[in-house]
Structure 1
């Protein structure tokens, strides 16, 4: 099996990679995470999805690619410049709501929402507000995080935070999890009740 043989990449993906280089965006999501997100999202027709940490839109492009026409996604980031770039690339996309807001504030204001998949790629929803974000996952829905294996750009002490986060998720009785030492380190949790 050759995992480097990427099939059906979003047509906008190469342009987003170029934009990442042009802008010096230093936290791009791994292409393999994108393929995984696309596959998981494709399992949820008419789904409702949430991305915390839009970044430049690399993962978002894969998520949109996996969605059917009746699905919706909200993508939240607190960086106005990054949201503006994503708006340039995805502004015509009717299934997408881009939100420029603090993730913690957004989560606090939207506790009545429920999602089929949440990709937490920012501090809020991953290292803060964990219980708030997990409460938004529908039964049978996915909670996905990446960057769980030590990265060269991690500040001192971050690896311990990642280890602690995994321990907390392992103890959640209403989720079943799979930890994958693949790509940048992935954890997929499914809400069981």
Structure 2
């Protein structure tokens, strides 16, 4: 009963999932991650949400499903091939795709620009963490996944994860919670 949310997936999710598999893209977000992202997006009425790492748009579809009519989502990726899958299946005036390096995008924006950030790429997670967190407003939520060991991790990646978690938990301006959910999630809220 609990733990499986694929049956509640957004309409475009199944088609995106099929294209993701066909492309051999091995870094997709799970349905359970998406379900939590949808809930968090819904908790930010009129909010500005940033996704770093569109991928094929699996998580993007869930985020979009949680937005109210006055909210907006910017999804950034450096890989046009995978982002084009999302562009094809997710057409919505609340959503803007940006083809760019995530860290470059982060550095172009003022502190306090976003209500929520889902960092699903190296930039914003392992690189440029402080700059990314500065983009959140007070009460803003930062979400990362793939914190539990994954089959596609390169050798030695656990040290990166451990270092990231230590940095997040050392910050007095954040309330951090680790979740044994999906691929291992971490949520942080700005005090």
The reply to whether TM is greater than 0.5 is: yes
What residue ranges of structure 2 are gaps of 5+ in the alignment?
none
Q: Which residue of 1 aligns with 2:89?
A: 89
Q: Which residue of 2 aligns with 1:191?
A: 190
Q: Which residue of 2 aligns with 1:67?
A: 67
| 4+ runs deviating over 6 angstroms | none
Task: State how far apart, in whole Å, the 2-side matches of 1:172 and 1:5 are.
Answer: 32
What residue ranges of structure 1 are gaps of 5+ in the alignment?
none
Greater Cα shift, 46-55 or 22-31: 22-31
Task: State how far apart, in whole Å, the 1-side matches of 2:55 and 2:39 are.
Answer: 20
Change (3 A) 1:94 1:135: same
Alignment of 1:41-60 (within 5 A): 41-60=41-60
Task: State how far apart, in whole Å, the 1-side matches of 2:171 and 2:130 are.
Answer: 10
**Alignment check: 8 A CA contact 1:83 1:99 kept:** no
**Alignment check: 8 A CA contact 1:111 1:132 kept:** no
Alignment of 1:1-193 (within 5 A): 1-4=1-4, 6=6, 8-90=8-90, 92-112=91-111, 114-192=113-191
Change (3 A) 1:28 1:5: closer
- CA root-mean-square deviation: 1.2
**Alignment check: 8 A CA contact 2:102 2:124 kept:** yes
Change (3 A) 1:77 1:146: same
Number of corresponding residues? 191
**Alignment check: 8 A CA contact 1:77 1:102 kept:** yes
Task: State how far apart, in whole Å, the 2-side matches of 1:101 and 1:5 are.
Answer: 31
Alignment TM-score, normalising by the size of structure 2: 0.96
Task: State how far apart, in whole Å, the 2-side matches of 1:67 and 1:124 are.
Answer: 24
Task: State how far apart, in whole Å, the 2-side matches of 1:76 and 1:113 are.
Answer: 18
Alignment TM-score, normalising by the size of structure 1: 0.95
